[in-house]
Amino acid sequence: MSQITLFPRSTSFSEIIPLPASKSESNRALVINALAKGTLDNLSNLAEARDTQTMIRLLSENGPEADVLDAGTTMRFLTAYYAVTGAVKKMNGTPRMCERPIGILVDALRALGADITYLNKEGYPPMQLNGFAFKGNREISIRGDVSSQFISAILMVAPLLPEGLKLQITGALGSKPYIEMTLAQMKHFGIEAKADWSTGTIEIPKQVYRLQPFAVESDWSGASYWYSMVALSPFEDSSLELLGLKEDSLQGDSAIKAIMEPLGVKSTYTGRGYLLTKIPAQDSLAWDFTDCPDLAQTICVVAAVLDIPLTLTGLESLKVKETDRVLALQNELKKLGASLVEKEANHLYEVTGNFSAIAAIEPIETYDDHRIAMCFSLAAFGTPLRINDPACVAKTFPEFFFVALHVGKGIRNVVTDRFDDADFFRGQHRTRFQENRQGAVQFVAVADRNHNHGQGMDLFAQRFASGGKTVGTIELTAQRNRLGLGYQFLKHYISVWNAKTRTITLLKRIFSRFSKNGSVQRIPAHFP
Please tell me which residue in 294, 369, 423, 448 is annotated as part of the active site.
294
CA torsion, ordered 464, 467, 471, 476, to nearest 10 deg: 20
Instruction: Tell me how many degrees the CA angle 187-193-197 measures, rounded to the nearest 5.
Output: 120
- Is 107 catalytic? The answer is no
- Whether the bond into 126 is cis, omega within 30 of 0: yes
HSE-up of residue 478 (Cα within 13 Å, Cβ side): 16
CA distance 75 to 153: 10
**With contact defined as beta carbons under 8 Å apart, do 313 and 289 qualify?**
yes
**Burial (CB count within 10 angstroms: exposed 0-12, middle 13-18, buried 19+), residue 273:** buried
HSE-up of residue 209 (Cα within 13 Å, Cβ side): 25
CA distance 161 to 112: 8
DSSP codes joined into one string, 343-405: EETTTEEEEEE-GGG-S--PPBP-TT-HHHHHHHHGGGGTS-EEEESGGGGGGT-TTTTTTGG
**Nearest-CA neighbor of 399 among 322, 493, 468?**
493
**Nearest-CA neighbor of 356 among 331, 340, 344, 338?**
338
Q: Are strands 214-215 and 14-18 parallel, antiparallel or unpaired?
A: unpaired
**Alpha helix (H) ranges present in 201-295?**
220-232, 256-260
Which residues have a catalytic role annotated? 294
